[in-house]
Structures are given as C-alpha cells and as structure tokens.
Amino acid sequence: MKNPFFRAAAFAAVAALSSLSAKPLEFICYSPYRDGQAPGGAEPSEAQIREDFKLLAPFVKGIRTYTCAGIHAQIPKLALEAGLEVYMGAWVGKDDNANVAEVNALIALAKSGNASIKGLIVGNEVLLRNDVTKARLIEYIKMVKNANTGIPVTTADIYQRISDNSADLNPVVDYVIAHVHPYWESQTAANGAAWVVKGWKQVKAKYPTKRVVIGETGFPSAGQTMGGAVPSEAAQAQVTTDLVTAGAKEGMEFMLFTSFDEAWKGAEGPVGANWGIWKSNRQEKAAVAKVRALPTLIRSQGGRARMRSESPEAGLRIDALGRIRALSAAMSLQAAGIAGAEAVARSDAASLPVWTITAP
C-alpha cells in the first residue's frame, strides 16, 4: 500500500468493518418451551425467556418465532431488552377463526413500534400440511400487508413448495423464507450444507428480485437414522459449522433450526426433541463450541458484510469484504508478536472472497 490515498481508503474500510457485529450466527429459530411445558399447556415465564436470551444474545443477531399466542406476544419486548432482532411468526392451522386471531395479533405487535421486529412470517409450512388453501393463505398475507406496518411480510414453507408456488407467492411476499432440511432428505452430514445451498439457489432462481432466506435448516443430535442422515452431536456440529462457512462463501442467509431441545415434540419420533444446539436444560452441545471457535473474520456478518470506501483524490474504489479486515487483524497480531497467529489470520483471510480495487 504505497499510495497514500489507497492506504487511507483501506484503513477507512477497515475501521468501518471493525464496527460490525461479529456474532457466531446471524439467526436461530426459537421456541421457549422447557421440560414439562408445551403449547396448550404450561407456558414459560418471562424470567425463563430472559434467561434464554441471555444465552442467545452473545451468539446470534436475531431469532425467528412461530406464533403470537400466549407468552410469545412478550417475546419482542424481551428481545428488545436483550438486543435481539425478531422475525415474528403467526401460526396458521386448520381453524380459520384462530388463524385470523393470530394474524390480528401479529399486526398489533407490528404496529406496537417495537424496533426489534424486523420481519413478519404468516404461517409455517401451511402448504406442506395443506391446513388451508393457498388462496386463503394469500388472503392472510394480504391482511398483514394491507395493515401497512412498514415491516416486510412473507410466509414460510419447505423449499419445494416455495419454488412450485412462486407464480402466486412472488407478487404478495416482500421476501422469501424457505426450509431446507438435509436430514429429512436423507443427506449425510458431510453433504448437508451443500444440499442447503443447492435448495437456496433453486429458490433464488424462482424469486430473482427478492431476498431469499433459509428459514429452517440444521441437523438433529439424536434420533432415528434417515437414509444417509445419522443424527449425533458430531454430525450436528459439522452441519452447523459447514452452514456458517457456506453462508459466508455464497452470501446465503439462514436461520438455524433450532436453539433448544423441546421434549414435547414427539410427533416426529425420537428425532423431534433433539434439534436444539442447546439441550433442554440449557447445556451446550458440541455445535455451540464449534461455531463459537470459527474465525471471527468468517462469521462477521456471515462474511458478507460489504463496505465501500472511496478516495476521490486518487480515483480509487475499494470494495472491502471480510478479507481486508482479516489482513488488518493479521498485521496487528504480527505487531503484537503473537507467534503463529499472524499466519493463521492470513490463512483465514485467503479463504474469503477476494476484495477488488478498480480505477475508473
């Protein structure tokens, strides 16, 4: 960096990138039920949710929920206290009256002025379960959109349903939430992240102008084998860390499924209660430590943070990705005399997308 204007621009970019959050994950799915609690039964307390958010806040940027009923209506308030973003869901089932009540509750929360709410999700895998017609689901979505809350609205379903129904959904959703579960498609843990990226790209091709987020993906830590998918803590950790790396490389946003094990989820067999990366008693599984140990430069904003710094005098533009931050870290480590660390940082930097310099 001999050119002083280039050097100034580069350091400006480094400073800007250094201000970004560097949490291990961007988003995770969240349901607050603990052992002995379940929908329609005993509910968690606000104190218990605060305990959960104390665990989650250093680890994730935001959470996704599935209903506005009961204690869930307090989640945005508690998330705001904890500094978490919320993608708030309204449950859509077979009962139209209950569905309308959920939609109205979602609208009320969206209009409350709570700054934690960043996205609204009307229904979860409704098309997969065929709980209501597609036309009725779209009516629910339009109810929320017509409320003019200023918050993006969508629905969530498995990626095949989202892709197959793009002609009808694309005109009404503001962004796209698709689920890709390598476990349910009998994929090995080693191929899990690649399978998710493949599904994400399939959906993006159907919604080329929309933000596409994988709203559920992950791997169970225990339960029945599904073809090549063999649940274990090691497999869950591998899929989770591979997703973080793949997300950084591809620019793929995803919401990990899920935060905590839930004993009440028995409908899916033994596997149903074992999708959390924390156990139901809030003890960490292997995935938490593995993701936390990933280099900061890879997981800073999913490796996708992009900050442009300009130097008009030199006519240079710098498109700075995570690499420029990594190289700055490498120089700092070298200056501090930390043996071997500088080489590791440079190696990490080399794995990131290349930042480019162009002169107009």
Is the predicted pLDDT of residue 299 greater than 80, yes or no?
A: no
Is the CB of residue 281 less than 8 Å from the CB of residue 37?
A: no
Is the predicted pLDDT of residue 172 greater than 90, yes or no?
A: yes
Q: What pLDDT sits at residue 88?
A: 98
Q: What three-state secondary structure class fits 265?
A: coil
Intervals of CATH 3.20.20.80 along the chain: 23-303
Q: Under CATH, what is the fold of the domain 23-303?
A: TIM Barrel (3.20.20)
Is the CB of residue 179 less than 8 Å from the CB of residue 146?
A: no
pLDDT above 90: percentage of residues in the chain: 74
Is the predicted pLDDT of residue 197 greater than 60, yes or no?
A: yes
Q: What three-state secondary structure class fits 291?
A: helix
Calculated CA dihedral for residues 152, 157, 160, 162, nearest 10 degrees: -30
Pairing of strands 117-124, 307-311: unpaired
Q: Which range is least confidently modeled, 161-165, 202-206, 347-351? A: 347-351
Is the CB of residue 43 less than 8 Å from the CB of residue 50?
A: no
pLDDT above 70: percentage of residues in the chain: 76
* Banded model confidence at residue 355, pLDDT cuts 50, 70, 90: very low
Burial category of 255 from C-beta neighbours within 10 Å (exposed 0-12, middle 13-18, buried 19 and up): buried
C-alpha atoms less than 13 angstroms from C-alpha of 107 in its C-beta half-sphere: 15
Residue for token digits 């990933």? 294
Burial category of 2 from C-beta neighbours within 10 Å (exposed 0-12, middle 13-18, buried 19 and up): exposed
Is the predicted pLDDT of residue 114 greater than 60, yes or no?
A: yes
